[in-house]
Every structure is written in structure tokens, then in C-alpha cells.
Structure 1
């Protein structure tokens, strides 16, 4: 009887894993097709059925697009924008979420409700206002002007608030008894205890800033474009080389894949913590 139950469990797990693998391959289909096109110069991308796996491998597209564009310059621009965006977004979002989670004051829930309600406003609705604000501050064609409008995200505030609310109050009380200031308690006691939430926010902000496309085009000159915006140079007025576009896109997403692989453990912990909170 035990052997029969064990065999049933093994068979059920086998079918579950097979279905999950099929679903994963299906979800990865567009990305596999993109890699396939980037490795096959001259391939008709609109052929049916599409070539998910390359029939032959040729890195000519990668070499040509690297020579055509000054990739190192655009990658460096992207690194600066991403570093500023990730660092200050974590800092200011955590500072905003801390009093909403820890302090007891009248209207705290109303303030949080108003913040969350702004999430229904589409990002495109603020482009004109953001541009006028950045222009009045003299930050046009600066990296600061790119990252400033998105430094405090409501979603990040929500995630940090849930993480702070999961910390026992005894931690803050012990800091108060030792004479620590509120800022020191936040920096040295609270922040180290929400590393999973920090990793999740860092990953989301890394992806958002690394893939930032429209806003940098509005604010920056072409010499300061990040990589995602610079890939628009590969589109001609009447024609385009999709193999180059595919190769450039693959190069641009590789850092995101590596960052996610190194932070996926904290990512799962942070998301589960936010849901439980």
C-alpha cells in the first residue's frame, strides 16, 4: 500500500513538473525567438513557423551592432542612471514608509490611502507636469532630471511599509532605551531587518531604470541616452535591421537576468512578506 501511494506521488509530481516545463518554455518563446533572430543574419523573421531555435549560429549581428553604436558610452550612461535611481529610490521610499508603519498619529491610514489611490493615475499623465518641473529647476539634459520624478514610488512605499510593520516593536523600543535617535534606529536597526524588501525594491528599480526609454528621450540629448533609448538609433526611416535590434536588445537585458539570478532568493522572501503583511 505504501509503495502504491509513493508511486502515485512520484507520477503526479512528474506530470506537474512536465506541465511546468512546458509552460516555462511557452513563456520563454518570445525571448528564445529574439535570441534565434539575433544569431541568424539574413534570416526572414516573418517566416512561418518561426524559428525558436537557431538553425545556425553566427555572432555577426552582435559584432556589427557593437561597432555601429558606441555601446560602452550608452552602457555607462545607463549604469549612472540606474545607480542613482536604485540608491535614492530605496532611501526615500524607506524614509517615507517608516513613519507610516511605525508612528501612531491621527490620519495615518488616510494618508496611506491617498498615496495608494494615486497608483490608478497612468504614468503618461504626469509627463507634461514632470517636464515643466524639471525644466523650471534647470535639470534638462541631466541624469538627475531623469531619475528625480520616480524617486518615490507608491508601490515601493507600500512594500517597505508592510516590511516595517512585520518587525516587532521591541526592536525600536530597545533602541530608544539605548538613547538612539529615530534616524539611527531606522538606519541601524530597522533597515538591516528588511533586506528581502530592499532586494525586491532594488530589483524592480533596477529593471525600471535600466529599461527606461521614453522619459530619457524627452529630457536628455542623444549623447546622454541610456542603452534602451539608444537602441532607437537602429531603426531607419524606411527600413530597419531587425537582427541588429535583436542583438542590441539581448545585450541590454543580460544585466537584468544576472541581477535577478543573484537576488531571486530575497525577491521571493520580500514578495511573500508583503503579501502576508
Structure 2
């Protein structure tokens, strides 16, 4: 009996937490589907005939939403690809190869995590400006192409792979690069999924760095465009809510596609 009571109590707590977490998104979704509604009059007087997609059509009518989405896909896609590639190729030798100073190098890399993001942003901006990459997509992408957390996550994944896999590749005459791409990388797909999801979310939702680097508003990603939209159409929160909902959907879609590998990747990293 006590076990059933504990189980019921646990489920009630989890349900309450879920409602608290999902509540803001539901409020945002209702605000986007209920035009001419005061967002502060919550709970809304919801009727079936009150629902409309006019806020969504209004966003596409007055804002070049398609262009902002393309900018975001370009920036996020390049950032995810470079981050996964660089994190993997950096973590592999730190996990599997033996060379002098490996532990010291890894300690230095991890120690860089204590640097505040604002301080790194100043250095990145000065570097991008000196390279002549300001107001360019490349200037936005390059500083996000390396993430220390992703390097750490991939290193933990590589540590879980038996050395016998590499030895079997060597016996077949494969080079270290061939072993890495053909044997090792397919075995760490869950960890790659973690890198992809985390980096995609970070890049998709980042608005401050693109607004600092880009001077042309037509090059803005979606998050920066929504910030601008919030300033221009603050009187019509329905449009802002509709744009925000549209910006959230790709992240949810990516998570649904990678959720199984994501859970395996996180658990594998924790084991390492």
C-alpha cells in the first residue's frame, strides 16, 4: 500500500512539473491562435470559432519570414556540421591516441569553459572584424563551430569504444583516418545526435551574436528577426507569438527525430 501511495505521489509531482513546464508554451500557442486578444487576460475565454491563423498569415505578409528562415537554416546547418566534425576530430586523439602532453592539453581545453561568454564574445568580435568577416554569414558561423562541451561529450563517447576495434582496422591495413570515419564514427552516432541537437538549439535560438556581427537586417536569422519583430509590432503580441511558435517547431522536429539516440548519447556520456 505504501508503495502505491509513493508511486501515486511521484506521478502527481511529475504531472505538476510537466504542467508548469508546458504551460508557457500553451499560453504562447493560444495567443498565436486567438487574434485581437489581450495577452494579460489569461485564462482566455476560448471558443472554437475564436481560433484563427490570421496572426500567422500576418507575420508572413508583413515580414519576409521565408528569407529569415533560410538564413537560420544556413547558419544553423553550417554551425552544426562544423561543430560535430571539429568536436569529433578533436576528441578522438584526446581519447584514443597517445602523445606527450595529452592530459595537459585536455585540461587546458576544459579550463577554457570558465571564461565568461561575454568575454569570449568581445574577443570573437575583434577577431572577426580583423579578418574582414563582419556583416557576413561566415562571421556568425565560425565562432560557433567549436564548443568545448561537445568536445568533452565526444571524448567520453570515444573512451567507451574498445581499442580492439582500432586494432582490427589496423590489421586490415586501414589508416587512422579510415578507422576514424569508417569504424569509430558509426559507433558514436548517439553522441553525435547529442551534439547535433544541442548545437542546433543553441544556433537556432541565438540572436545576440548575429545582431552584433550582421549590419544588414536582411541577413538576420529568425531569432534576431523575432527580436526586431517584437520591437516593431509590440502592440500586436499575436504576431510575435505566431513567429515564436514557428521558430520553435524546427527544434521540436529535430528532437523528435533524434530523441532515441539523444537519450542513448547522454547516458553513454555519463557512463564514460
The reply to whether residue 251 of structure 1 matches residue 260 of structure 2 is no
Asked whether the 8 Å contact 2:233–2:239 carries over to 1, the reply is no
SS class of match (1:43): coil
User: Displacement, 1:166?
Assistant: 0.2
Task: Tell which deviates more after alignment, 21-30 or 265-274.
Answer: 21-30
Asked whether the 8 Å contact 2:193–2:265 carries over to 1, the reply is yes
SS class of match (2:58): helix
CA–CA separation in structure 2 for the residues paired with 1:196 and 1:11: 36
- Aligned residue among 196, 199, 202 for 1:205: 199
Matches within 5 A, 1:48-67: 50-51=42-43, 54-55=46-47, 56-67=50-61
Map of 2:84 onto structure 1: 90
CA–CA separation in structure 1 for the residues paired with 2:65 and 2:233: 24
Matches within 5 A, 1:165-176: 165-176=159-170
After superposition, the C-alpha distances for 1:26-63 in whole angstroms (9 at most, x for unaligned) are 1111111111211222222223xx32794542222111
CA–CA separation in structure 2 for the residues paired with 1:175 and 1:52: 63
CA–CA separation in structure 2 for the residues paired with 1:179 and 1:79: 40
After superposition, the C-alpha distances for 1:4-39 in whole angstroms (9 at most, x for unaligned) are x7xx76665444334322221111111111112112
- Aligned residue among 127, 131, 145 for 1:133: 127
Asked whether the 8 Å contact 2:233–2:240 carries over to 1, the reply is no
Map of 1:26 onto structure 2: 20
* Structure 1 residues 142 and 12, CA gap change in structure 2 (3 angstroms): same
User: Displacement, 1:238?
Assistant: 9.5
Q: TM-score, normalised by structure 1?
A: 0.91
CA–CA separation in structure 2 for the residues paired with 1:77 and 1:18: 43
CA–CA separation in structure 2 for the residues paired with 1:176 and 1:155: 30
Matches within 5 A, 1:230-249: 230-236=225-231, 239-249=234-244
Asked whether the 8 Å contact 2:80–2:196 carries over to 1, the reply is yes
- Aligned residue among 102, 110, 119 for 1:116: 110
The reply to whether residue 269 of structure 1 matches residue 255 of structure 2 is no
Query: RMSD in angstroms over aligned alpha carbons?
Result: 1.9
CA–CA separation in structure 2 for the residues paired with 1:239 and 1:197: 40
Task: Tell which deviates more after alignment, 257-266 or 56-65.
Answer: 56-65
Structure 1 stretches of 5 or more lacking a match? none
CA–CA separation in structure 1 for the residues paired with 2:32 and 2:233: 21
SS class of match (1:235): helix
Tell me the number of residue pairs that the alignment of Structure 1 and Structure 2 aligns: 269
Q: TM-score, normalised by structure 2?
A: 0.92
Asked whether the 8 Å contact 1:35–1:246 carries over to 2, the reply is yes
CA–CA separation in structure 1 for the residues paired with 2:180 and 2:44: 49
User: Displacement, 1:185?
Assistant: 0.9
CA–CA separation in structure 2 for the residues paired with 1:59 and 1:71: 15
Map of 2:141 onto structure 1: 147
